[in-house]
Amino acid sequence: MEHRRFGKTELDVSAVGFGAWGIGGPAMAGRVPIGWGSVDDRTSLFALRHALDRGITFYDTADFYGLGHSEELIGRVFGNRGDVVIATKVGHTTHHDGSLRTDYSRDYILQACERSLKRLNRESIDFYQLHSARVSHLGSGGCLEAMERLLEQGKIRAWGISLNTFHPEPEAEYLMQRNLGHGLQLVLNIVNQRAIPLLGRAHELGYGIIARMPLQFGLLTGKFSRQTRFEPDDHRSFRLPPQILERALEALRDVWPLAENLNMTNTALSLSYCLSFPQISTVIPGIKTPGQVDQNTDDIRPVDRTTLECLRQIYTTKLTEVVELMEKQG
C-alpha cells in the first residue's frame, strides 16, 4: 500500500483509506435515512481488522455516522494505537424529536470532541473536521476558536473541513485565504469532477486533501442496473431514485470500456483515477465488508494521461448533466 504525507502535517496516510459511514448502520434523522441500510457489527469489525492487514491505515468517520456507532466500532478495534490515523467530524446532530440539525458553536464542538474521544477510545483525534460547515458558520468564529483550542490542548492533531458535495469553493477559499486549518475533504470521482480546480492551490498551500465518494454511492463499481432499488433505510433511496440512476448508467456506458482496455475493474479504475491527481493525499471508498476491503485495494495504479483526458471529455459532454440532477435531488 502506497503512503502519502497529509499536506504539511506530520500525518502519514495510506493512499486508500476506509470510509466508515456505512458501518454506522441504518440510523435515521427523523424520517430521513442517514445510513446505508442494515449491517452486521461482526462483519464490520472483521472489515476494520482486515483493512489494516491490507495496509489501510487511514480511517474516516463522523460522530453522526450511526449517531456515534461508527466511532464506537473503530474505537473497539484500534483504540489508542499509533499506527493508524483516525479522522472524524463534528457539526451534524439531531433535535430532541430526532430530526436533523447542525451546530457549529464553540461549546458544542468542545463537548462533542470529548464524546468522540471517548467513543474512539483515543487520547487525541488525528484529523478533526467541521462536517459540511458553511461560510456563515466559519465567519461566526466560534467553530474556528474551538478547533484552535482543541489543537492547543492536544485533543486533536490537525483540523479542517468536509466540504459541500456540489459547491466546495466558498468554504475552501475562506480557509485558504486566511491560512486556517490543515486539510480539506472534498468530493472527487469520475462522475463529479467539480472540485478539480481547487486541488492545485490547496496543495501548494500545504493542505492535505481527502477525496470522498470515489465510487459515487456505488455507481462506479458497475454493479447497479436500471432495476436496482434501495431499501427505505438506505440514504440512496432518495439520492439515487430510478430516474437519476437510469440517466447516470446511460452516461457511464463510455467509461466501462476504458477499464477493460486497462485490464482493470471498474472499482480499480475509479479509485486509481482519484489517486492519479498527485495533490490527493488519500481516497476513502465506503467499506462495510472484508470483501469490499479487497475490492478497494486490488490493482490500484496510475492512470495514463490519455485515459484521464477521455474521462474528462465524458464528464464534460455527458456527466455534468447527471451531477446537476443529483444536486437538485439533494
Domains, in order of start, for the chain: 3-218+267-303 (3.20.20.100)
Per-residue pLDDT band at 170 (split at 50, 70, 90): very high
Q: Quick one: pLDDT at residue 130?
A: 98
The C-alpha atoms of residue 116 and residue 128 are separated, in whole angstroms, by: 10
User: In the sheet that 282-284 helps form, which strands lie side by side, from edge to edge?
Assistant: 18-19, 58-60, 85-90, 127-131, 159-162, 183-187, 208-212, 282-284
**DSSP assignment of 181-238:** -SEEEEE-SSS--TTHHHHHHHHHTT-EEEEE-TTGGGGGGT---TT----TTBTHHH
pLDDT one-digit tens code per residue, 121-147: 999 999 999 999 999 999 998 999 999
Q: Which residues are identified as catalytic?
A: 65
Q: Quick one: pLDDT at residue 330?
A: 76
3-state secondary structure of 297: helix
Residues 304-323, mean pLDDT to the nearest whole number:
97
Q: Is the pTM of this model over 0.85?
A: yes
User: Which residues touch 42 (CB under 8 Å, ≥6 apart)?
Assistant: none
Per-residue pLDDT band at 36 (split at 50, 70, 90): confident
Instruction: Name the least confident of 97-106, 159-168, 215-224, 266-275.
Output: 97-106
Q: Quick one: pLDDT at residue 33?
A: 87
**Percent over 90 (pLDDT), the chain:** 91
Inter-axis angle of helices 169-178 and 196-204, to 10 degrees? Answer: 10
Q: Quick one: pLDDT at residue 315?
A: 97
Q: Quick one: pLDDT at residue 30?
A: 84
The C-alpha atoms of residue 310 and residue 292 are separated, in whole angstroms, by: 27
